[in-house]
Structure 1
């Protein structure tokens, strides 16, 4: 038992050593492509898809947007909207007592009338935050005379596919590296939490990030999730958009100035003021939010609102921010899924089973990625695993395992055929000689020397079988050894082979009933045997030998035997008829079972029955044609 188990293990290891290398090569190549950054676009696309497929989230009423739309511009009658109206708007908003106001409109150059009036409003109200751009190209200074804690930058980075997925919370001042600059969203968040009694601190687990209320914000590192060699200067976070077509309360400039806004909507809120119109060009691109007002496009002010909502929801509500595993975790995950299609290819027994198993694996992989992202906010690798499943699961590994497994099965089949053939040779040769000798030994009806001759013949026949099997193992030529000792080359036409089998078998002296034969008839018509394999030709010849041997063993009193191969009505009928004593036993012999199996393989029929008034017919018929 133990030996059989170890043999099975060695066989399995041998199979893997030959079939697995193509799959391992695919796995290594995919990993190298990912390390080089070749998988980024696909991983970003899948990230956007999973974010978009999450359940709808409720509105975050802690953030309110005052958007200046096209109707506001028509109502004011001037674009850009003059500073006078902006100052009036900010003054009105202050009366509602919001916790912080972010003015997402560049005010480095006055838009008259009202430039001086707006400047006074900004300087007077300490919770209003102005904006600037600090990164090249296109640096834009903040409003004049504003202190640093009332300024936030609005620079946004886009990925190589043009989509915006990252938000820079703070970075060093390019003009003064010792000075830190905070973004508009972070500045408003700090003011919000400060009034709630929560201060900003450096991270504990990651000193390079920040935390509020002992909750650290996961930052984008050099190799973060699907990103490769991304610029990790400063502190950037991955956008976890609130999944709702209207995630925030949005009011217009007209609504505020005309007193149409409930003051409770704005009290103790973060209020963002900015353009929500196409004229301003403050647009960013994303595929991670479903049912946008503009397909694939989000207003800049909405983008900042999503960042603020994201951080507030994490600190206050426990909503996860998006983060990823470290490199060793990601590549361990890829290795696990890289070997899965090899296992599938090893276990499945057909192409359809393989396709179904790979399809289930793809669904499970996407489901794992979706649940991890939705529930825990973890961005795990999916794209490289999908590629490996496609190449290995449907291609190389499955094909390699299938071919090698097929090779092993063919070897087993060849061994089984060899065993079967050997048994047939022994049955039709030495066993017949042995039966003949034992019969006369018991009856003591022949001289001693003749009996010794029979057993010497038996010795020769057994030795000849051993030599034949050695020869067959060493040569590529297909051959057949008959019980008489005659060796036939199976590449000859079938009717020639049948003549040789007939003549050689009837000349055997070890069958008593052959001695009473008076009439021997043979007729084997030629046929097109191109659709027969050499193994099938071998078994047809053995069928004829077996049928003739049965006449010699069982047809007592036989005077006449007729062997024929007739091609008629698209069928070839190979039969042996005799006028002996007929079938004496109703039990099915091994030869009969083998003949039925052969008939089934040929797509034909087999019959063996008694004839009237005497005799037996043994017949194999089939249609010579290509079988699929």
Structure 2
């Protein structure tokens, strides 16, 4: 036979001795001078070349290193294709898509040929491969891709070459799917995607049983998707994706709950610090500031000074007892600077009214000139505020009113209003006093901005014309979710700031 009609019959078993690949071509030796083709490829080439259209064997278009017949490009096996890692991919190899069934090809024995017991159409215009199929001659290869084999898991060598040849012909003539794989970046993206899905499920469910159920459903879905892709001719990484899905679903909830517990402890401590500051700032500190002002004016008798100092001491001890009692009993109450305790279970508009009434009755310097008090708070549905948010809103209002009482000299009118408009609530305190005396940001302003950020809203403190100060907190009742009202309010705020900047220019 001429060399161009001789093909090799070498096979490449995997580490588990199973055959999943077929060699189509390779260099004969290390000199790389002579390139040879496999028996299956030469049979397919001869058959397709005898067709009317004469489909020729050429180099690939998308992959110049592979082979193609007409428009059908044979997907080349690479070292990391499918479930392989670092496998030798010398020459041109393809993954085998075995035909199903115990006898996918017609068989004829030598006796059938000798006696003429066959239909001539069975071999006319067909590829006929001659080989030995007897257990006495050990010419078998291992595969688990075909069920109901006898002996189990083994096919004869002649059958293997028939599968390899049939795969090429069916792909070219019948458009039967060849086994393809994704490139490494797409496989990594696929695996990472399932890992992030596990993390997302852990954050979404936040419950071991719900997370287990979600991961179970996702695992079945992953296997189902992998099977569908395999039917369509794509071998995608199912095992690595399943592994990272299970590992992340076990590890992430543990880290997440630990992180949440740690954050909760930090928030509790920070809340205690903030509450302590507010209680001292809105109580004893106000009395101390008033006392210092009187001392500077030399109009504070010694007996009254001693009484003020005793009041400050008693207030501090009362605050200490209140904080201890609240820690032990977990009471849902708020203590104002005047030692008034209010139940946080009351509606927020009633709480705000009580805070206003109590604070405006305190003995603060600027309150002595007050003539007009406008107080009005619209109700807020209870589901939009937590107990802690109610507490912080009351402290914000108390702080704003105390600032008016301390710094708004000559104030005659004060307005404290809570207004609901388009899913936004605005809590504001406005006065007509002497205005802002300092541009520095004190602790109260920092806490107000932190509260605004927590509520997903905005805070501003600005002077009014011709005199006075506005202290305003605005937030959406829909929480942190993006609503049309939130977007429109943000655009409106941005527009007004831009307009104010242009006026300055």
Q: TM-score range, shorter-chain basis?
A: 0.5 to 0.7
- Equivalent in 197, 208, 222 of residue 351 of structure 1: 208
Name the counterpart of 1:189.
44
Structure 1 position 211, deviation (Å): 0.9
1:177 aligns to 2:32 (yes or no):
yes
1:284 aligns to 2:141 (yes or no):
yes
Name the counterpart of 1:158.
13
* Cα separation, partners in 2 of 1:465 and 1:378, compared to 1, 3 Å: farther
Name the counterpart of 2:397.
none
Determine the C-alpha separation between the residues in 1 that align with 2:85 and 2:106. Answer: 37
User: Contact conserved, 1:354 with 1:393, CA < 8 A, in 2?
Assistant: yes
User: Contact conserved, 1:345 with 1:402, CA < 8 A, in 2?
Assistant: no
1:199 aligns to 2:56 (yes or no):
yes
User: Contact conserved, 1:322 with 1:379, CA < 8 A, in 2?
Assistant: yes
Name the counterpart of 1:545.
none
1:462 aligns to 2:315 (yes or no):
yes
Name the counterpart of 1:328.
185
Residues 431-460 of structure 1 show CA distances to partners (whole Å, capped at 9, x for unaligned) of: xxxxxxxxxxxxxxxxxxx99999987654
Determine the C-alpha separation between the residues in 1 that align with 2:306 and 2:31. Answer: 114
Task: Give the 3-state SS of the residue equivalent to 1:149 in structure 2.
Answer: helix
Determine the C-alpha separation between the residues in 2 that align with 1:279 and 1:250. Answer: 18
Name the counterpart of 1:539.
329
Structure 1 position 252, deviation (Å): 2.5
Determine the C-alpha separation between the residues in 2 that align with 1:188 and 1:265. Answer: 17
- Equivalent in 382, 388, 394 of residue 238 of structure 2: 382
Determine the C-alpha separation between the residues in 2 that align with 1:541 and 1:164. Answer: 72
What 5-or-longer segments of structure 1 have no aligned partner? 1-145, 431-449, 469-480, 489-533, 543-628
* Cα separation, partners in 2 of 1:421 and 1:541, compared to 1, 3 Å: farther
Alignment of 1:584-623 (within 5 A): none
User: Contact conserved, 1:338 with 1:389, CA < 8 A, in 2?
Assistant: yes
Structure 1 position 238, deviation (Å): 0.6
Determine the C-alpha separation between the residues in 2 that align with 1:337 and 1:388. Answer: 7
User: Contact conserved, 2:77 with 2:95, CA < 8 A, in 1?
Assistant: yes
Q: TM-score, normalised by structure 2?
A: 0.55
* Cα separation, partners in 2 of 1:229 and 1:420, compared to 1, 3 Å: closer
User: Contact conserved, 1:219 with 1:237, CA < 8 A, in 2?
Assistant: yes
RMSD: 3.8
User: Contact conserved, 1:200 with 1:212, CA < 8 A, in 2?
Assistant: yes
* Cα separation, partners in 2 of 1:459 and 1:289, compared to 1, 3 Å: same
Name the counterpart of 2:498.
none
Determine the C-alpha separation between the residues in 2 that align with 1:231 and 1:416. Answer: 62
Task: Give the 3-state SS of the residue equivalent to 1:261 in structure 2.
Answer: coil
Structure 1 position 339, deviation (Å): 2.3
Structure 1 position 311, deviation (Å): 0.8
Which structure carries more relative contact order (alpha carbon 8 Å, separation 6+)? 1
Determine the C-alpha separation between the residues in 2 that align with 1:305 and 1:541. Answer: 82
Name the counterpart of 2:152.
295
Residues 44-89 of structure 1 show CA distances to partners (whole Å, capped at 9, x for unaligned) of: xxxxxxxxxxxxxxxxxxxxxxxxxxxxxxxxxxxxxxxxxxxxxx
Name the counterpart of 1:219.
76
Residues 138-182 of structure 1 show CA distances to partners (whole Å, capped at 9, x for unaligned) of: xxxxxxxx2223322110011112111111111122287322212
Name the counterpart of 2:161.
304
Name the counterpart of 1:339.
196
Determine the C-alpha separation between the residues in 2 that align with 1:414 and 1:159. Answer: 61
Structure 1 position 410, deviation (Å): 5.0
* Cα separation, partners in 2 of 1:454 and 1:246, compared to 1, 3 Å: farther
* Cα separation, partners in 2 of 1:240 and 1:539, compared to 1, 3 Å: same
Name the counterpart of 2:345.
none
* Cα separation, partners in 2 of 1:198 and 1:460, compared to 1, 3 Å: same
Task: Give the 3-state SS of the residue equivalent to 1:271 in structure 2.
Answer: coil
Choose 1 or 2 for highest CA Rg: 1
Determine the C-alpha separation between the residues in 2 that align with 1:413 and 1:250. Answer: 80
Task: Give the 3-state SS of the residue equivalent to 1:379 in structure 2.
Answer: coil
* Cα separation, partners in 2 of 1:482 and 1:207, compared to 1, 3 Å: closer
Name the counterpart of 1:228.
85
Determine the C-alpha separation between the residues in 2 that align with 1:420 and 1:245. Answer: 79
Determine the C-alpha separation between the residues in 2 that align with 1:370 and 1:324. Answer: 14
1:167 aligns to 2:25 (yes or no):
no
- Equivalent in 212, 220, 225 of residue 368 of structure 1: 225
Task: Give the 3-state SS of the residue equivalent to 1:323 in structure 2.
Answer: coil
Name the counterpart of 2:259.
404
- Equivalent in 259, 270, 273 of residue 130 of structure 2: 273
Name the counterpart of 1:392.
248
1:248 aligns to 2:248 (yes or no):
no
What 5-or-longer segments of structure 2 have no aligned partner? 284-302, 333-505
Determine the C-alpha separation between the residues in 1 that align with 2:318 and 2:48. Answer: 95
Determine the C-alpha separation between the residues in 1 that align with 2:330 and 2:184. Answer: 64
Alignment of 1:437-448 (within 5 A): none
* Cα separation, partners in 2 of 1:455 and 1:283, compared to 1, 3 Å: same
